[in-house]
Protein backbone atom coordinates (compact mmCIF):
# COMPACT_ATOMS: atom_id res chain seq x y z
CA UNK A 1 0.00 0.00 0.00
CA UNK A 2 1.22 3.50 -0.85
CA UNK A 3 0.07 6.77 0.66
CA UNK A 4 -1.41 9.65 -1.25
CA UNK A 5 0.42 12.94 -1.05
CA UNK A 6 -1.11 16.41 -1.01
CA UNK A 7 -0.92 17.83 -4.52
CA UNK A 8 -2.57 21.16 -3.72
CA UNK A 9 -3.74 23.17 -0.70
CA UNK A 10 -6.27 25.99 -1.14
CA UNK A 11 -8.38 28.34 0.94
CA UNK A 12 -12.11 28.78 0.52
CA UNK A 13 -13.47 32.01 -0.94
CA UNK A 14 -16.00 34.14 0.95
CA UNK A 15 -19.17 34.70 -1.08
CA UNK A 16 -22.95 34.65 -0.76
CA UNK A 17 -25.67 32.59 -2.42
CA UNK A 18 -29.37 31.93 -2.40
CA UNK A 19 -31.12 35.06 -1.15
CA UNK A 20 -27.97 36.36 0.52
CA UNK A 21 -26.63 33.57 2.72
CA UNK A 22 -22.97 34.23 3.54
CA UNK A 23 -20.76 31.20 2.99
CA UNK A 24 -17.33 29.97 2.02
CA UNK A 25 -16.89 28.32 -1.40
CA UNK A 26 -14.26 25.61 -1.22
CA UNK A 27 -14.74 23.79 -4.53
CA UNK A 28 -16.12 26.00 -7.28
CA UNK A 29 -13.86 28.89 -6.30
CA UNK A 30 -10.07 28.72 -6.25
CA UNK A 31 -10.50 25.06 -7.18
CA UNK A 32 -12.89 25.17 -10.12
CA UNK A 33 -14.03 21.53 -9.94
CA UNK A 34 -12.66 18.15 -9.00
CA UNK A 35 -14.28 15.34 -11.02
CA UNK A 36 -16.85 14.17 -9.94
CA UNK A 37 -17.22 17.02 -7.42
CA UNK A 38 -18.61 20.27 -8.78
CA UNK A 39 -18.86 22.40 -5.66
CA UNK A 40 -18.40 22.40 -1.89
CA UNK A 41 -19.76 25.21 0.28
CA UNK A 42 -19.36 25.77 4.00
CA UNK A 43 -22.06 27.82 5.74
CA UNK A 44 -21.08 28.78 9.27
CA UNK A 45 -22.88 31.78 10.70
CA UNK A 46 -24.19 32.80 14.12
CA UNK A 47 -25.63 36.11 12.89
CA UNK A 48 -29.22 35.58 11.68
CA UNK A 49 -28.78 38.38 9.16
CA UNK A 50 -26.26 36.15 7.38
CA UNK A 51 -28.57 33.16 6.91
CA UNK A 52 -32.27 33.97 7.55
CA UNK A 53 -33.05 34.70 3.86
CA UNK A 54 -32.09 31.10 3.08
CA UNK A 55 -32.35 29.47 -0.32
CA UNK A 56 -35.86 30.11 -1.73
CA UNK A 57 -37.30 28.03 -4.56
CA UNK A 58 -34.75 27.17 -7.24
CA UNK A 59 -34.28 24.33 -9.74
CA UNK A 60 -31.58 21.67 -9.99
CA UNK A 61 -30.84 19.21 -12.75
CA UNK A 62 -28.16 16.70 -13.71
CA UNK A 63 -26.23 16.22 -10.46
CA UNK A 64 -26.58 15.44 -6.75
CA UNK A 65 -26.58 17.76 -3.76
CA UNK A 66 -25.34 16.51 -0.40
CA UNK A 67 -26.21 18.58 2.67
CA UNK A 68 -24.54 17.76 5.99
CA UNK A 69 -25.71 19.75 9.00
CA UNK A 70 -23.41 20.06 11.99
CA UNK A 71 -25.36 22.72 13.90
CA UNK A 72 -28.71 24.36 13.28
CA UNK A 73 -31.79 23.35 11.30
CA UNK A 74 -32.96 23.79 7.70
CA UNK A 75 -36.22 22.66 6.11
CA UNK A 76 -36.31 21.26 2.59
CA UNK A 77 -39.43 21.35 0.38
CA UNK A 78 -39.89 20.67 -3.33
CA UNK A 79 -42.50 20.86 -6.08
CA UNK A 80 -43.19 17.10 -5.87
CA UNK A 81 -44.45 17.23 -2.30
CA UNK A 82 -41.27 16.08 -0.59
CA UNK A 83 -40.38 17.74 2.70
CA UNK A 84 -37.63 17.08 5.24
CA UNK A 85 -36.02 18.71 8.26
CA UNK A 86 -32.24 18.78 8.49
CA UNK A 87 -31.18 18.88 12.14
CA UNK A 88 -27.70 18.75 13.75
CA UNK A 89 -25.82 15.68 12.51
CA UNK A 90 -28.26 14.82 9.72
CA UNK A 91 -27.57 14.33 6.01
CA UNK A 92 -29.65 14.70 2.87
CA UNK A 93 -28.34 13.15 -0.35
CA UNK A 94 -30.52 14.45 -3.17
CA UNK A 95 -30.21 13.05 -6.68
CA UNK A 96 -31.74 15.82 -8.80
CA UNK A 97 -31.76 13.83 -12.05
CA UNK A 98 -34.29 15.22 -14.53
CA UNK A 99 -34.96 18.19 -12.33
CA UNK A 100 -36.91 19.55 -9.38
CA UNK A 101 -37.68 22.93 -7.88
CA UNK A 102 -36.94 23.07 -4.19
CA UNK A 103 -36.16 25.39 -1.29
CA UNK A 104 -33.88 25.17 1.74
CA UNK A 105 -34.90 27.56 4.49
CA UNK A 106 -33.66 27.97 8.09
CA UNK A 107 -35.95 26.76 10.86
CA UNK A 108 -34.48 29.06 13.50
CA UNK A 109 -34.13 32.79 13.98
CA UNK A 110 -31.06 32.80 16.23
CA UNK A 111 -28.01 30.73 17.05
CA UNK A 112 -25.39 29.01 14.92
CA UNK A 113 -26.07 27.53 11.50
CA UNK A 114 -23.16 25.32 10.40
CA UNK A 115 -22.91 22.73 7.67
CA UNK A 116 -21.77 21.78 4.19
CA UNK A 117 -23.27 21.30 0.77
CA UNK A 118 -21.41 19.18 -1.75
CA UNK A 119 -22.41 18.89 -5.42
CA UNK A 120 -21.62 15.57 -7.11
CA UNK A 121 -21.90 15.15 -10.87
CA UNK A 122 -23.99 12.46 -12.57
CA UNK A 123 -22.83 10.65 -15.73
CA UNK A 124 -24.59 11.54 -18.98
CA UNK A 125 -26.69 8.36 -18.93
CA UNK A 126 -28.16 9.28 -15.53
CA UNK A 127 -28.87 12.99 -15.95
CA UNK A 128 -32.55 12.36 -16.72
CA UNK A 129 -33.32 9.80 -13.99
CA UNK A 130 -36.14 10.37 -11.51
CA UNK A 131 -35.23 12.58 -8.54
CA UNK A 132 -34.39 10.67 -5.37
CA UNK A 133 -33.88 11.65 -1.74
CA UNK A 134 -31.99 9.96 1.04
CA UNK A 135 -32.89 11.81 4.26
CA UNK A 136 -30.72 10.38 7.02
CA UNK A 137 -31.14 11.33 10.70
CA UNK A 138 -28.13 11.40 13.07
CA UNK A 139 -29.21 8.14 14.69
CA UNK A 140 -28.66 6.30 11.38
CA UNK A 141 -25.07 7.54 10.88
CA UNK A 142 -22.60 5.20 12.59
CA UNK A 143 -19.76 6.63 14.67
CA UNK A 144 -16.58 4.56 15.07
CA UNK A 145 -14.86 5.34 18.39
CA UNK A 146 -11.28 4.10 18.44
CA UNK A 147 -9.07 3.29 21.43
CA UNK A 148 -6.73 6.21 20.66
CA UNK A 149 -9.61 8.69 21.01
CA UNK A 150 -10.31 9.19 17.31
CA UNK A 151 -13.93 9.33 16.16
CA UNK A 152 -15.09 8.70 12.62
CA UNK A 153 -18.64 9.35 11.41
CA UNK A 154 -19.33 7.17 8.36
CA UNK A 155 -21.80 8.91 6.05
CA UNK A 156 -21.04 7.03 2.82
CA UNK A 157 -18.71 4.19 1.91
CA UNK A 158 -16.80 1.99 4.33
CA UNK A 159 -14.47 2.68 7.21
CA UNK A 160 -12.90 -0.62 8.22
CA UNK A 161 -15.91 -2.87 8.90
CA UNK A 162 -18.46 -0.06 9.22
CA UNK A 163 -20.60 1.07 6.30
CA UNK A 164 -22.42 4.38 5.99
CA UNK A 165 -26.18 4.62 5.30
CA UNK A 166 -25.98 6.35 1.91
CA UNK A 167 -26.36 3.80 -0.90
CA UNK A 168 -27.02 3.42 -4.62
CA UNK A 169 -24.73 6.29 -5.68
CA UNK A 170 -23.05 5.81 -9.06
CA UNK A 171 -19.78 7.50 -8.07
CA UNK A 172 -19.25 5.00 -5.21
CA UNK A 173 -18.48 7.78 -2.70
CA UNK A 174 -16.58 7.79 0.55
CA UNK A 175 -17.72 10.53 2.94
CA UNK A 176 -16.26 10.61 6.46
CA UNK A 177 -16.30 13.17 9.26
CA UNK A 178 -13.00 12.46 11.02
CA UNK A 179 -11.92 13.70 14.45
CA UNK A 180 -8.29 12.96 15.34
CA UNK A 181 -7.40 13.17 19.02
CA UNK A 182 -4.39 15.19 20.15
CA UNK A 183 -1.03 13.57 19.26
CA UNK A 184 -2.72 10.77 17.33
CA UNK A 185 -2.79 9.56 13.72
CA UNK A 186 -5.33 8.26 11.23
CA UNK A 187 -4.98 5.94 8.24
CA UNK A 188 -7.74 5.16 5.76
CA UNK A 189 -8.00 3.17 2.55
CA UNK A 190 -9.27 5.09 -0.49
CA UNK A 191 -10.36 3.17 -3.60
CA UNK A 192 -7.68 3.20 -6.28
CA UNK A 193 -8.05 6.09 -8.76
CA UNK A 194 -10.91 7.72 -6.81
CA UNK A 195 -10.60 11.48 -6.65
CA UNK A 196 -10.21 12.51 -3.02
CA UNK A 197 -9.86 15.57 -0.83
CA UNK A 198 -9.84 16.57 2.82
CA UNK A 199 -11.28 19.78 4.24
CA UNK A 200 -10.07 20.77 7.71
CA UNK A 201 -12.59 22.70 9.84
CA UNK A 202 -11.09 22.32 13.31
CA UNK A 203 -7.41 22.33 14.32
CA UNK A 204 -4.74 21.31 11.82
CA UNK A 205 -3.03 18.16 10.64
CA UNK A 206 -0.12 16.80 8.64
CA UNK A 207 -1.33 14.90 5.58
CA UNK A 208 0.78 12.40 3.66
CA UNK A 209 3.50 9.83 4.37
CA UNK A 210 6.60 10.45 6.46
CA UNK A 211 9.06 12.48 4.46
CA UNK A 212 6.34 14.11 2.38
CA UNK A 213 3.86 15.52 4.89
CA UNK A 214 2.09 18.83 4.34
CA UNK A 215 0.38 20.82 7.05
CA UNK A 216 -3.27 21.66 6.36
CA UNK A 217 -4.81 24.37 8.51
CA UNK A 218 -8.38 25.11 9.52
CA UNK A 219 -10.33 26.42 6.51
CA UNK A 220 -8.11 24.72 3.93
CA UNK A 221 -8.80 21.96 1.42
CA UNK A 222 -6.10 19.42 0.54
CA UNK A 223 -6.28 17.61 -2.81
CA UNK A 224 -4.94 14.07 -2.43
CA UNK A 225 -2.92 12.73 -5.36
CA UNK A 226 -4.39 9.48 -6.73
CA UNK A 227 -1.76 8.83 -9.41
CA UNK A 228 0.32 5.67 -9.36
CA UNK A 229 -2.36 3.54 -7.74
CA UNK A 230 -1.99 5.14 -4.31
CA UNK A 231 -4.43 3.45 -1.98
CA UNK A 232 -4.51 5.24 1.39
CA UNK A 233 -4.18 8.50 3.27
CA UNK A 234 -2.15 9.12 6.42
CA UNK A 235 -2.84 12.00 8.80
CA UNK A 236 -1.23 13.01 12.09
CA UNK A 237 -2.12 15.88 14.39
CA UNK A 238 -0.28 17.38 17.34
CA UNK A 239 -3.18 19.27 18.89
CA UNK A 240 -6.19 17.50 17.37
CA UNK A 241 -7.94 17.91 14.07
CA UNK A 242 -11.38 17.49 12.50
CA UNK A 243 -11.93 17.23 8.78
CA UNK A 244 -14.15 15.91 6.02
CA UNK A 245 -12.60 13.12 3.95
CA UNK A 246 -14.41 12.70 0.64
CA UNK A 247 -13.65 10.48 -2.36
CA UNK A 248 -15.54 9.47 -5.48
CA UNK A 249 -15.11 7.72 -8.80
CA UNK A 250 -14.34 10.23 -11.59
CA UNK A 251 -16.91 10.37 -14.40
CA UNK A 252 -14.42 11.59 -17.03
CA UNK A 253 -17.03 13.33 -19.18
CA UNK A 254 -17.07 16.90 -20.36
CA UNK A 255 -19.89 18.84 -18.72
CA UNK A 256 -21.58 22.18 -19.20
CA UNK A 257 -22.34 23.80 -15.87
CA UNK A 258 -24.08 27.07 -15.12
CA UNK A 259 -26.06 28.07 -12.06
CA UNK A 260 -28.08 25.13 -10.71
CA UNK A 261 -27.67 22.98 -13.83
CA UNK A 262 -24.99 20.55 -14.96
CA UNK A 263 -25.53 18.81 -18.29
CA UNK A 264 -23.36 16.93 -20.75
CA UNK A 265 -21.95 18.55 -23.83
CA UNK A 266 -23.98 16.55 -26.36
CA UNK A 267 -27.15 18.39 -25.30
CA UNK A 268 -27.46 21.72 -27.10
CA UNK A 269 -28.83 24.11 -24.49
CA UNK A 270 -27.85 27.72 -24.86
CA UNK A 271 -25.99 29.65 -22.20
CA UNK A 272 -28.72 32.26 -22.50
CA UNK A 273 -31.27 29.70 -21.28
CA UNK A 274 -29.10 28.95 -18.26
CA UNK A 275 -28.80 32.64 -17.49
CA UNK A 276 -32.57 33.12 -17.66
CA UNK A 277 -33.19 30.27 -15.22
CA UNK A 278 -30.41 31.39 -12.88
CA UNK A 279 -31.70 34.95 -12.89
CA UNK A 280 -35.30 33.85 -12.27
CA UNK A 281 -34.39 31.84 -9.19
CA UNK A 282 -31.82 34.27 -7.82
CA UNK A 283 -28.88 31.91 -8.11
CA UNK A 284 -25.30 32.98 -8.78
CA UNK A 285 -23.50 29.62 -8.68
CA UNK A 286 -21.36 29.09 -11.77
Positions in the chain whose pLDDT score sits under 70? 1, 256-286
Give the Cα separation of 196 and 249 in Å (integer): 9
Q: Is 102 annotated as a binding residue?
A: yes
Give the up-direction half-sphere exposure of residue 125: CA atoms within 13 A in the CB hemisphere. Answer: 4
pLDDT of residue 155: 98
Burial degree of 218 (CB within 10 A; 0-12, 13-18, 19+): middle
In this prediction, residue 71 carries a pLDDT of: 97
Q: Per the CATH hierarchy, to which homologous superfamily does domain 5-283 belong?
A: Jelly Rolls (2.60.120.10)
Cα Rg of the chain, angstroms: 18
Does the annotation list 258 as a binding residue?
no
Quote the pLDDT of residue 286: 33
| Confidence at residue 31, expressed as pLDDT on a 0 to 100 scale | 92
Give me the pLDDT at residue 258, please: 55
Report pLDDT for 278: 36
Residue 60 has a pLDDT of 83
DSSP conformational letter for 96: -
pLDDT tens across 191-215, in order? 988 999 999 999 999 999 999 999 9
Q: Residue 60, annotated ligand binder? A: yes
The answer to whether 219 touches 11, Cβ cutoff 8 Å, is yes
pLDDT at residue number 99: 75
Q: What pLDDT, on the 0 to 100 scale, is given for residue 254?
A: 82
Helix, strand or coil for residue 138? helix
Query: 39: part of which helix (H) or strand (E)?
Result: strand 37-45
Amino acid sequence: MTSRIVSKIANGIATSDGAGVKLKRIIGGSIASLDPFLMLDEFRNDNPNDYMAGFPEHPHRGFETVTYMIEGSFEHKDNKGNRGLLTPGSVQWMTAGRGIVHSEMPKQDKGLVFGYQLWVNLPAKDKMIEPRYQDIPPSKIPVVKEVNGNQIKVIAGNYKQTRGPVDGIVTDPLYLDVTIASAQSFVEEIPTEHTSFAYVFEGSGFFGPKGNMKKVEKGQIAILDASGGKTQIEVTSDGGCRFLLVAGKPIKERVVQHGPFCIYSSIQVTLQTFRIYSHCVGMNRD
